């Protein structure tokens, strides 16, 4: 299945609707062999990141020794991704985007812009299913095809995974580990997929963030106008309290999670 995914990713550039005015970064074509090699080879930082998790667990936050948090965005790239990227650039904030494979295939240029802006990419499956309801072969396809699409579109080998709906079980976690991915959930859920106001999103973050928090938001899957509007107030509010921002990878490497910061259970039923 990976070969078909690569062919789709590389066909015609896949730009849709002028999602970004910035020139599309030039990324070399990636073959199936390249994807297999990239999945097998771990650089020093990759190895450190993958080794952080214990077998059969997901990270829900960093250790809390440093006053840093990670903003994460799920379900993209979508129509609101350029606006999210613009706000993050203006605010000088790095973030982590857990992307859906079919959305990347439809708009690889958006993913390339995420990477060009210095953000981190994670795997969020191909079709956003509840993986716990799928057989093992389908779980593997959802995860590995998305990882391959990310590499084909951007030249980046992702090392992070987030299960849709936060739904994990031992089989799902084993599939992620087999793909050399660290499973990442969250400890602050903005519930922005339920369409709260920007003020409600801001209040949820400011009331619940602690050192090491991984904060869940969305840039795809629906209208994310309120999330975009909330971002400046979230960043300003947290900085006023002494917080800074990091990608998930940098956060957990610099402030490793302890056993209380990991979980073997599903986190919630987020969108």
Round the average pLDDT of the chain to a whole number and report it. 87
Please check the confidence at residue 13 and state whether its pLDDT lies above 70.
no
Asked whether 134 and 110 are in contact (CB, 8 A), the reply is no
Closest to 175 in 3D by CA, of 214, 148, 216, 135: 135
Other CB atoms within a 10 A radius of the CB of residue 26 amount to 7
- The tally of CA atoms less than 13 A away on the side-chain side of residue 220 is 22
d(CA 24, CA 112): 7
Please check the confidence at residue 262 and state whether its pLDDT lies above 90.
yes
- CATH no. of 2-7+57-262: 3.20.20.370
* pLDDT, tens digit, 9 for 90 and up, residues 158-208: 999 999 999 999 999 999 999 999 999 999 999 999 999 999 999 999 999
d(CA 202, CA 231): 8
Q: Which is the catalytic residue, given 218, 250, 255, 261? A: 218
Is 24 known to be catalytic?
no
By the 10 Å C-beta count (0-12 exposed, 13-18 middle, 19+ buried), 249 is classed as buried
Over residues 26-52, mean pLDDT: 68
* pLDDT, tens digit, 9 for 90 and up, residues 91-132: 999 999 999 999 999 999 999 999 999 999 999 999 999 999
- Whether the model clears a pTM of 0.75, i.e. scores above it, the answer is yes
d(CA 188, CA 171): 25
Asked whether 154 and 108 are in contact (CB, 8 A), the reply is yes
Is 51 known to be catalytic?
no
């Amino acid at each position: 299945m990976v070969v078909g995914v690569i062919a789709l990713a590389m066909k015609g550039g896949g730009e849709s609707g002028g999602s970004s005015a910035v020139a599309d970064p030039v990324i070399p074509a990636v073959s199936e062999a390249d994807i297999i090699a990239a999945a097998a080879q771990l650089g020093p930082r990759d190895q450190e990141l993958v080794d952080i998790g214990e077998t059969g667990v997901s990270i829900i936050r960093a250790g809390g020794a440093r006053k840093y948090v990670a903003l994460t965005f799920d379900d993209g790239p979508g129509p609101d991704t350029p606006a999210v990227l613009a706000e993050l650039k203006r605010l000088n904030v790095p973030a982590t985007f857990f992307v859906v494979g079919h959305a990347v295939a439809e708009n690889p240029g958006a993913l390339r812009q995420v990477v060009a802006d210095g953000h981190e990419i994670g795997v969020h499956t191909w079709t956003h299913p509840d993986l716990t309801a799928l057989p093992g072969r389908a779980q593997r396809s959802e995860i590995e095809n998305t990882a391959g699409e990310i590499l084909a579109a951007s030249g980046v080998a992702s090392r992070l995974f987030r299960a849709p709906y936060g739904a994990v079980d031992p089989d799902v976690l084993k599939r992620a580990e087999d793909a050399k991915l660290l499973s990442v959930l969250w400890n602050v859920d903005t519930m922005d997929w339920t369409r709260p106001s920007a003020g409600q999103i801001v209040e949820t973050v400011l009331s619940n963030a602690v050192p090491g928090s991984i904060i869940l938001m969305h840039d795809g899957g629906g209208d994310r106008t309120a999330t975009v509007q909330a971002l400046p107030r979230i960043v300003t509010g947290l900085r006023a309290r002494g917080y800074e921002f990091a990608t998930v990878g940098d956060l957990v490497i610099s402030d490793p999670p302890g056993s209380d910061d990991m979980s073997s259970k599903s986190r919630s039923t987020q969108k």
